[in-house]
Chains A and B, each alone.
Chain A
């Protein structure tokens, strides 16, 4: 990120310049917030049991990250450096509360679905990480792009992990029965042939293992990502 922190007077660049587009595309692959920056692992373990939750959490994080990045970036020259982390925390927390209160009043069903994620969004290290590493040092527009990129990168990874965990742990995808039904007396599909769900898939350790495998695959395909020690 160092090349972006320069404060020299830059010529006006187009909104979707190559540099700005890269802010969105890079976190999807070679600078993924979860697999490369290793941020947001905690929530990736907690809510990847089903694809639906991955999608909901992904959308919420994109929303909060984009708005938060924008606000922090607008305030970046005013925030005293000694209390910047607290200020960032206040921004995330109030943003999440505003969203939650509004949803509770106007879209109660969505609010119920999100209830558990509210706490998870506030504590999500990706958000604080991007505020600190990017929004504090960049102009509003690139910060918004960075928010979209990292949010999407996070959401994408959640969905990949949740895909494997839901398929092999519950035999469903997005709630639809793929392998049949295991309800005693009403079995159909693979379960009639003695197939059983892998309960380890549902437990948090399996999320770590899947994230680990993804990191392994990604780094063996792109050697540039491997750190030398």
Chain B
């Protein structure tokens, strides 16, 4: 039986079979592995929050023990959800503003900001509160975009509600060796000690600079050579996301 392999029928048939076979394999694989992947992401989220508080690498905390360590310092029940003005809300709101079930941990801050249907007043801003060695620190998740895709991070604020005590940054696919370096210690250290508001409680904008003045000037942070756009992305997300929390901290300081 000879088949004309250059005929349209064979070509179409081959293409259709190929698409169905490949499509089925990929769908089954993706669906089958989804629970495992979701689980990994949850652990990763906890690990990211922890690494904003401390140097997890030096302490030997990784995915395997992230959850235990997380429970040592944080209680999800203590986490707050703020509205766009920095006031504590009664719970998570859906796109229409009605309260739904869930904790601050379930808030996907990227969806909050990206969803066009969600008005600004209905956005949820999670704030995690951790206790370590008897001291309280506040952890704020931030999201933004870098050169090639999303970047995100967590900023840890000291119990003075002003000084940055630690941070962790992550990215989906920034240029290796350049923008991708934002998750390295050396870059994170440049943020530590910066203040988010002045003595009157006015939010201080961060600026990522190229001239190396970061360590000496307030609110200035050195960028990464060759990773300008990613560094600027970190600046943008820090400025946009931290502002809301400053009003919350101000009201807390007054009380």
Contact = CB atoms under 8 A, between A and B. Distances in A.
B37 A104 contact: yes
Interface string A104-125: 1110110000011101000000
Given A81-B5, A184-B215, A50 B177 contact: yes
B14 A83 contact: yes
B29 A102 contact: yes
B33 A101 contact: yes
A37 interface: no
Which of B44, B148, B225 has most chain A Cβ within 10 Å? B225
A4 interface: no
A86 B16 CA distance: 12
A49 interface: yes
B37 A49 contact: no
A39 interface: no
Nearest to B10: A80
A199 B26 contact: no
Contacts of B63: 108-109
Contacts of B180: 116
B15 interface: yes
Contact of A199 (B19, B40, B43, B226): B226
A184 B212 contact: yes
B173 A108 contact: no
Nearest to A53: B176
Contact of A49 (B5, B43, B172, B176): B176
A173 interface: no
B30 interface: yes
Interface stretch (A28-36, A90-98, A135-143, A144-152): A90-98
Nearest to B17: A78
Contacts, number: 87
A117 B177 CA distance: 12
Interface string A63-81: 0000000000000001111
B134 to A, nearest CB: 31
Nearest to B62: A109
A117 B10 CA distance: 35
Contacts of B100: none
Contact of A105 (B6, B22, B40): B40
B177 to A, nearest CB: 3
B33 A115 contact: no
A167 interface: no
A117 B172 CA distance: 11
Given A81-B5, A98-B26, A101-B29, A202 B225 contact: yes
A61 B92 CA distance: 45
B11 A83 contact: yes
A46 B6 contact: no
Interface in A168-224: 183-185, 199, 202-203
A199 B177 contact: no
B176 A79 contact: no
A97 B40 contact: no
Nearest to B227: A202
Interface string A25-59: 00000000000000000000011011001000000
A9 interface: no
Contacts of A90: 18-19, 22
A82 interface: yes
Interface in B31-68: 33, 36-37, 40, 43-44, 62-63
A116 B29 contact: no
30 contacts: A46-B176, A49-B176, A49-B226, A50-B177, A80-B10, A80-B11, A80-B14, A80-B15, A81-B5, A82-B11, A83-B14, A83-B15, A87-B18, A94-B25, A97-B26, A101-B37, A104-B33, A105-B36, A105-B37, A115-B172, A116-B172, A116-B173, A116-B175, A116-B176, A117-B176, A166-B177, A183-B186, A199-B225, A199-B226, A202-B226
Given A83-B11, A184-B215, 20 more contacts: A46-B176, A47-B177, A80-B5, A80-B6, A87-B14, A97-B26, A98-B25, A98-B26, A102-B29, A102-B33, A108-B37, A109-B63, A115-B172, A116-B148, A116-B175, A116-B176, A119-B173, A199-B225, A199-B226, A203-B226
Q: Which 8 A/B pairs are nearest by Cβ-Cβ distance? A: A49-B177, A105-B36, A105-B33, A116-B173, A80-B11, A108-B40, A53-B176, A202-B226
